[in-house]
Amino acid sequence: MKQLILASSNPGKLREFAQMFAPLGIELIAQSSLGVADADEPHDTFLENALAKARHASRQAKLPAMADDSGICVRALDGQPGVHSARFADVAGAGDRASQDALNNEKLLALLRGKPDRVAHYACVIVLVRHDKDPEPLVAHGTWQGLIADAPRGANGFGYDPYFFLPDLGKTAAELEPGEKNMLSHRGKALRRLLAQLKAGA
């Protein structure tokens, strides 16, 4: 495998993943650069959505493809927002990503108001298919445990990071440097597990 399609339009994600695949001699290519549109994500699990995105990109590009699906799961809300994390507030015309993030966090805090249980975790599933009908896709999971804070802290990260508090560090995810976050995060863990499978010849 010399080339791999990343089923994402997120440039930050492409940079992060490309650096980790380079030592394996694999070139990571954004699906958007080949004119592949984002796939629908209608499923109820991270695994199903990641697999759907990977198969869609592989089918369109005729190359191996990788996709991830991730989100935050809050115990007191029975796992919400989960797969709907990016569009939790689901407000039409919400504007740019920062505006959508603000609305998502506002809704999350409103639902948690008065609830003492603030336990939450980020979850990520990464899927790699060698071709669009691959019967044995590579699958890797990663989680990151924390609590939902009442007030935001930190200017790094995105999404729920300013409210995702890490008790062991006394910081939110948005207060971590990028390198530190990659070592600890759900996505970083899942990606390293996927790379281990590739290095083992899976």
What pLDDT was estimated at residue 92? 62
Alpha helices in the chain (DSSP H): 11-21, 46-61, 97-112, 178-184, 186-199
The verdict on whether 69 is a catalytic residue reads: yes
What pLDDT was estimated at residue 202? 59
What pLDDT was estimated at residue 156? 87
Give the strand pairing for 3-6 and 27-30: parallel
pTM of full prediction above 0.95: no
d(CA 30, CA 116): 42
When divided into structural domains, the chain yields a total of 1
Q: What is the CATH number of the domain that holds 132?
A: 3.90.950.10
Among 38, 44, 68, 69, the active-site one is 69
Given a cut of 90, whether residue 96 has pLDDT beyond it is: no
User: Which tens digits make up the pLDDT trace of 107-162?
Assistant: 999 999 999 999 999 999 999 999 999 999 999 999 999 999 999 999 988 899 99
Domain that holds residue 164: 3-199
User: Which tens digits make up the pLDDT trace of 34-81?
Assistant: 888 888 778 899 999 999 999 999 999 999 999 999 999 999 999 999
